[in-house]
């Protein structure tokens, strides 16, 4: 799992601004000086349309060509190139091209041997994992990657010696790894307890050089130069330069154990925002960039681009307040009310309007691309206002004279919150307000300025009725960090105060179950439980959308590689045609 | 005399700097709280993990202690702290970003001055003419049009559309080409769009000031005397009027000096120009509290120095002004 790091689109705001602006009267009065501006607003689009019509499809050759540079444009910069310090997707994209681990995640989400000769032997109690390190892995300076390097790399995650090493990896590392040792080229990982995602989380731990970092203390590592420029690496690329705020350049590592990649270099270019990403994709200044759903159709229309749109591990949801000590919790504590609210939503219409169709309506806690997805999850919630009304009637909320339902003199009023700088979320709340009005629910929108305030409201303050938020998740189906009663403590993400002994037990048992079939059955049960109790409504699974220049070949991005942390095959087969 | 005056101005400016930092500190804490990027809202971490990590970062301490520690660092040790995002010293970021900001804003100011003076003088000399009206229109537009909009339109036209039409196009952003950039021509090509947009605002404001101060100077007695002596109009304007009419411009440019350091935040952001302005914007967007505080304080100090320089230059240009 990772933090909610979806970039917030400011583009709609800007477009709205443009519309309003161009309507203003004073443009006419200052017509002389504004003539060129008018040309800019109206003229460009028309001229552009003419110009695009003349462009034909690019010819494509299928034989990989050596050399060239691939430029990826991102609106957020990486933070740390020392993997143990980083937990954000932006840093991971870069540092996983530099450092690889014993295992990697393939494009189906399965772990495969990487620096290990073969998949590990697992002891019958599921606590000991034994690997054999390949002897042909080299650092980019030509020296071998040794078992010592491997042990050292793991120590950064769990060893007491490195307490005080900042970053999000250590708390779980110390919790789940008991010991890592080497005997010859045999590496033994010992788990502290039976923990199903152990291999997924700790098999691909990137190996870093002990000879460079071994003598440093935790405090030194926090600020070490390695974080912004590692001298040697073992992945497909090696570090070349990083001008912060501008670009990070990696050069091909010819000593890579699978053989050198096609590209000469890979550049991570900082682009201001999603608007600029599309512009620079069009001009060819960047080859690859992540797009907002709002720009999907515009990118599709661009002849020089391929547009990838794929499901990811993540969802947008709204959480209900269940805490009986809060007034909103007294209303929403009734499961019939929560179910009625979901029946009362036309979620497909929401996906079409807010995500421009680039998302799928969610039926379950887990996305369909997860191995643990329960396709028979029940109940499923279609759009059914009659059922919604019946449920509310049954719960004692009778339609009042004002069009708002009432119970014991109290009106059915909800306090809905999200962060205003996320236009998709705001749009969703507006649609919800409108649709719930039709079933007699008066939902009031409260917008907080930014994610910081929303985060504080969810994790600490917790005075809300319905809170809209999104998560990018990992490949593993465990979501106890969001729904376990443990996370209802102050600072945790279970801000809706969902406390359910059965769910807690299922979460705990499933994460300790090594047998995937048994584990899957538990998650199937959990998904049903979640669907019937609905402590939150998982609204939609938004797609990841990328624009890729047609001169780029073999760039097969998918959810497992970019978000799952399994970056190994990524870039292996990527090659570019020379720029025209 | 001058140094005494300077010293007094510096002392008077101290409360300003302290005030600015206090307000920024409180504003940031009110809006961003003690949020730590990557730490909060992370379902991977348990509440007790978050508490521990916050403690290690020192953000669990009372506000006044955090503030006092920060102030001591800045004013006694010149230490602006470390970025919450990537752990590197804030000052290091500012120093590496500063040259880019200087390049952009100094160019823009030079363009602005070079165009504002002739435009202002021409408007004043042909007051009420069609030329004057046109130039007035341009400067009103330059002042009224938001920079980000103008910047985006220029990108759309000169980068995206020109490229689409097969014309020579200008890069949409950055200080140099991503691959193989850095030669003088490459740098100039990248500078054109952002410097034009930024200078447009300077030019609009300054040309108005030059116009009005020239008008004022033209009506002075000594101008009449000069003409009465038989000086040609042109000579009278260039020898007597010009020098006096640009004095107010010096103050304005002095006031822009902090802008030189902060960079045109908006222009830098639109054009992805890797300067201090973009750094501030990015940091604010990613809730990097220490970084925003650092750049703001840095700019506050620059404001003080900028004003001081303008005051000193004033005396050099206008002999009537004396310091006491």
Q: What is the pLDDT of residues B191-215, one digit of tens each?
A: 999 999 988 888 888 888 888 888 8
The whole-number average pLDDT for the span A443-456 is 89
Sign of CA dihedral A23, A28, A29, A34: positive
Within 8 A of A284 by CB-CB distance, chain B residues are: 163
CB of B146 closer than 8 Å to CB of B197: no
Between residues B28 and A268, the one the model is more confident about: A268
Query: B93 — contact with chain A (CB < 8 Å)?
Result: yes
Taking only the tens place, the pLDDT of each residue in A58-71 is 334 578 889 899 99
* pLDDT above 80 (res A504): yes
d(CA A267, CA A430): 40
The mean of the pLDDT values for chain B is: 82
| Interface contacts (A, B; CB < 8 Å) | 207
Tokens at residue A468, please?
């809209």
In terms of average pLDDT, the best of A128-132, A221-225, B190-194 is: A128-132
B230 or A207: whose pLDDT is higher?
A207
Mean pLDDT of A108-114: 88
Residue A339 CA to residue A336 CA, distance in Å, equals: 5
Of A205, A112, A66, the residue nearest A569 (C-alpha): A112
The pTM of this model reads: 0.81
Measured in angstroms, the CA of A42 and the nearest CA of chain B are apart by 11
Residue A532 pLDDT > 50: yes
Q: Which residue has the tokens 């708390």?
A: A171
Residues from chain A that touch B41, judged by Cβ atoms under 8 A, are 3-4, 451, 455, 458-459, 469, 493
Q: Which of A139, A133, A82, A147 is nearest to A253 (CA)?
A: A139
Residue A13 has pLDDT above 70, yes or no: no
The interface residues of chain B toward chain A in range 45-64, judged by CB-CB distance below 8 A, are: 45-53, 56-57
Q: How confident is the model at residue A564 (pLDDT cuts 50, 70, 90)?
A: very low
Q: Count CB-CB contacts under 10 A for residue A266.
A: 24
Q: Does A166 touch chain B (CB under 8 A)?
A: yes
Both tokens of residue A537? 């409504």
Contact A34 B141 (CB under 8 A): yes
pLDDT of A45 strictly over 60: no
- The predicted complex's ipTM stands at 0.75
User: What number of residues does chain B have?
Assistant: 324
Cα B186 from Cα B30, distance rounded (Å): 43
Residue A133: CA atoms inside 13 Å, Cβ hemisphere, count?
25
Contacts of B40 in chain A (CB under 8 A): 3, 452, 455-456, 459
Kindly report the backbone phi and psi dihedral angles of residue B213, in degrees, each rounded to the nearest multiple of 5, phi listed first: -70, -30
Give yes or no for a contact between B302 and B261, defined as CB atoms under 8 angstroms apart: yes
List of chain B residues whose C-beta atoms are within 8 Å of the C-beta of residue A52? 164
Residue B64: which pLDDT band, with cuts at 50, 70 and 90?
Answer: confident
User: Residue A32 above 70 pLDDT?
Assistant: no
A146 touches chain B (CB under 8 A): no
Phi, psi of A535, deg, nearest 5: -70, -15
User: What digits encode the pLDDT tens for the residues A332-347?
Assistant: 999 999 999 999 999 9
Is residue B274 within 8 angstroms of chain A, CB to CB?
A: yes
Distances (CA, A) of B161 to A15, A213, A580: 18, 49, 17
Chain A residues with CB under 8 Å of B47 CB are 486-487, 489-492
Rounded distance between C-alpha atoms, residue A490 and residue B47, angstroms: 7
Given a cut of 60, is residue B29 above it in pLDDT?
yes
Inform me whether the C-beta atom of residue B179 falls under 8 Å from chain A C-beta atoms. Answer: yes
């Amino acid at each position: 799992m990772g933090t909610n790091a979806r970039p917030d689109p400011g583009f709609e705001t800007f477009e709205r601004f443009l519309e309003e602006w161009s309507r203003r009267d004073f443009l006419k009065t200052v017509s002389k000086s504004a003539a060129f501006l008018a040309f800019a607003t109206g003229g460009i689009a028309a001229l552009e349309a003419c110009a695009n019509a003349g462009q034909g499809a690019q010819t494509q050759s299928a034989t990989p060509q050596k050399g060239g540079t691939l430029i990826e444009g991102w609106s957020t910069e990486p933070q740390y190139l020392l993997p143990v310090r980083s937990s954000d997707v932006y840093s991971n994209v870069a540092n996983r091209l530099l450092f690889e681990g014993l295992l990697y995640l393939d494009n189906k989400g399965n772990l495969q041997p990487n620096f290990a000769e073969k998949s590990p032997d697992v002891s019958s109690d599921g606590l000991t994992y034994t690997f054999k390190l390949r002897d042909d892995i080299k650092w980019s300076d030509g020296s071998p990657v040794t078992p010592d390097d491997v042990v050292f790399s793991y120590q950064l995650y769990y060893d007491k010696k490195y307490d005080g090493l900042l970053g999000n990896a250590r708390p779980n590392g110390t919790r789940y790894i008991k010991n890592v040792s080497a005997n010859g080229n045999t590496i033994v990982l010992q788990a502290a307890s039976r923990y199903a995602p152990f291999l997924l989380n700790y098999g691909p731990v990137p190996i870093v050089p002990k000879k460079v970092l071994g003598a440093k203390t935790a405090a030194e590592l926090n600020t070490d130069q390695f974080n912004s420029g590692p001298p040697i690496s073992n992945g497909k690329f090696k570090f070349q330069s990083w001008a912060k705020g501008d670009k990070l350049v990696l050069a091909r590592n010819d000593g890579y154990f699978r053989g050198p990649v096609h590209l000469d270099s890979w550049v991570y270019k900082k682009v201001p925002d999603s608007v600029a990403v599309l512009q620079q994709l069009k001009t060819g200044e960047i080859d690859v960039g992540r797009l907002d759903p709002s720009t999907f159709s515009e990118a599709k229309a661009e002849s020089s681009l391929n547009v990838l749109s794929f499901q990811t591990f993540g969802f947008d949801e709204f959480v209900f307040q269940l805490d009986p000590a809060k007034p909103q919790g007294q209303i929403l504590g009734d499961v019939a009310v929560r179910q009625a609210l979901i029946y009362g939503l036309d979620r497909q219409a929401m996906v079409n309007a807010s995500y421009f169709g680039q998302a799928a309506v969610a039926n379950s806690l887990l996305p369909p691309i997860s191995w643990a997805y329960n396709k028979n999850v029940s109940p499923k919630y279609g759009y059914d206002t009659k059922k919604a009304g019946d449920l509310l009637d049954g719960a004692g909320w009778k339609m009042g004279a004002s069009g708002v339902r009432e119970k014991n003199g109290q009106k059915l009023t909800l306090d809905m919150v999200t962060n205003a700088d996320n236009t998709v979320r705001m749009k969703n709340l507006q649609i919800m307000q409108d649709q719930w009005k039709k079933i007699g629910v008066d939902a009031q929108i409260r917008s907080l300025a930014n994610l910081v305030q929303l985060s504080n409201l969810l994790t600490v303050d917790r005075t809300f009725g319905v809170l809209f938020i999104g998560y990018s998740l990992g490949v593993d189906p465990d979501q106890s960090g969001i729904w376990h009663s443990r996370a209802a403590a102050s600072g945790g993400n279970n801000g809706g105060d969902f406390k359910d002994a059965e769910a807690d037990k299922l979460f705990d048992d499933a994460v300790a179950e090594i047998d995937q079939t048994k584990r899957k059955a538990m998650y199937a049960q959990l998904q049903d439980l979640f669907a019937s109790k609905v402590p939150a409504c998982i609204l939609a699974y938004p797609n990841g959308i990328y624009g890729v220049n047609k001169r780029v070949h073999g760039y097969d991005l998918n959810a497992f590689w970019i978000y799952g942390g399994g970056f190994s095959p990524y870039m292996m087969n990527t090659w570019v045609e020379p720029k025209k | 005399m001058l140094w005494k005056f300077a010293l007094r101005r510096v002392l008077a400016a101290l409360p300003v700097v302290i005030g600015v930092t206090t307000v920024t500190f409180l504003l940031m804490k009110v809006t961003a709280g003690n949020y730590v990027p990557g730490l909060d809202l992370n379902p991977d971490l348990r509440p007790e993990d978050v508490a521990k990590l916050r403690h290690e970062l020192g953000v669990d301490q009372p506000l006044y202690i955090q503030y006092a520690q920060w102030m001591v660092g800045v004013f006694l040790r010149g230490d602006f702290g470390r970025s919450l995002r990537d752990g590197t010293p804030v000052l290091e970021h500012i120093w590496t970003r500063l040259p880019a900001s200087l390049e952009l804003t100094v160019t823009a100011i030079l363009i602005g001055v070079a165009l504002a003076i002739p435009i202002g003088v021409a408007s004043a000399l042909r007051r009420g003419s069609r030329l004057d009206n046109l130039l007035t229109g341009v400067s009103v537009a330059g002042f009224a049009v938001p920079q980000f909009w103008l910047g985006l339109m220029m990108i759309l036209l000169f980068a995206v559309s020109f490229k689409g039409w097969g014309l020579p196009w200008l890069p949409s952003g950055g200080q140099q080409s991503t691959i193989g950039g850095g030669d003088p021509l490459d740098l100039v090509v990248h500078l054109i769009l952002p410097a034009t947009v930024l200078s447009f605002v300077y030019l609009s404001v300054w040309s108005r000031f030059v116009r009005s101060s020239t008008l004022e100077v033209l009506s002075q007695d000594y101008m009449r005397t000069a003409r009465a002596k038989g000086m040609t109009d042109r000579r009278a304007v260039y020898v007597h009027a010009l020098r006096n009419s640009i004095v107010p411009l010096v103050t304005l440019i002095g006031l822009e000096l902090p802008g030189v350091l902060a960079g045109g935040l908006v222009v830098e952001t639109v054009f992805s120009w890797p300067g201090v302005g973009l750094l501030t914007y990015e940091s604010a967007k990613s809730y990097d509290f220490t970084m925003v505080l650092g750049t703001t304080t840095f700019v506050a100090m620059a404001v003080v120095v900028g004003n001081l320089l303008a005051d000193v230059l004033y005396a050099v240009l206008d002999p009537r002004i004396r310091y006491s």
